[in-house]
Homo-oligomer: A and B are copies of this chain.
Amino acid sequence: MAESHQPDDCSIQRTLDAIGDRWTLLILRDLFRGVRRFSMIQTDLGIARNLLADRLISLADEGVVKKVPYQDRPPRHEYHLTAKGRALSPALVALMRWGDDYYTDGGAPTELVHDECQTRLELQSWCTSCNSPVDPTHIRSAPGAGRVLSVTETEDV
């Protein structure tokens, strides 16, 4: 039986504190696609201006996006992903792939492919010691250096 974690003793919880909001994830999706200007994101998502402004301020505060000027007169800027923002790519890819698998009848709207051979990519857990992909049944969780409470996991994420 798993015991309770302290609220901040979980990287998923911390991640959701930063980006765990439906609008925020859709804004990130747009930024990855190159939709970077306020009015274009607003049109694409059909989100209210104040909500979009709030989310972009939060993302900038978290260091996930940065404002980059693209015009001086009048001053205009667009929103770019930082390195920290781009590091969310595997999470968005995984969410997209799950939607592809369970919510599309006619196939995936967008495929991610290897540029050299155009093969559809899989997302795999990878062992750098064995230099091979690892089947989910061979994944275990173990307490890391930042563990606060002792917890016994009975099923692995």
* A20:B18 contact, CB within 8 angstroms: no
In the assembled complex, A26 has its CB within 8 A of some CB on chain B: yes
Interface status of A35 (Cβ within 8 A of chain B): yes
Least distance between A59 CB and chain B CB atoms (Å): 13
**Residue A11, interface by CB 8 Å:** yes
B153, A110: Cβ atoms closer than 8 Å: yes
Q: Per DSSP, are chain A's interface residues mostly helix, strand or loop, or mixed?
A: mixed
The quantity of this chain's copies bound in the complex is: 2
User: Looking at A109, A125, A128, which has the most chain B CB atoms within 10 Å of its CB?
Assistant: A109
Which of the residues B22, B119, B138, B155 comes within 8 Å of A34, measured between beta carbons? B155
Of B26, B40, B93, B151, which one neighbours A16 at CB under 8 angstroms? B26
User: Which residues of chain A (7-56) have a CB below 8 Å from chain B?
Assistant: 7, 9-16, 18, 20-22, 25-26, 29-35, 40, 43-44, 46
Can you report 14 A-B residue pairs in the complex whose CB atoms are below 8 A from each other?
A1-B35, A11-B99, A81-B155, A90-B94, A90-B97, A90-B123, A107-B144, A111-B143, A111-B144, A117-B129, A117-B130, A123-B123, A123-B125, A123-B126
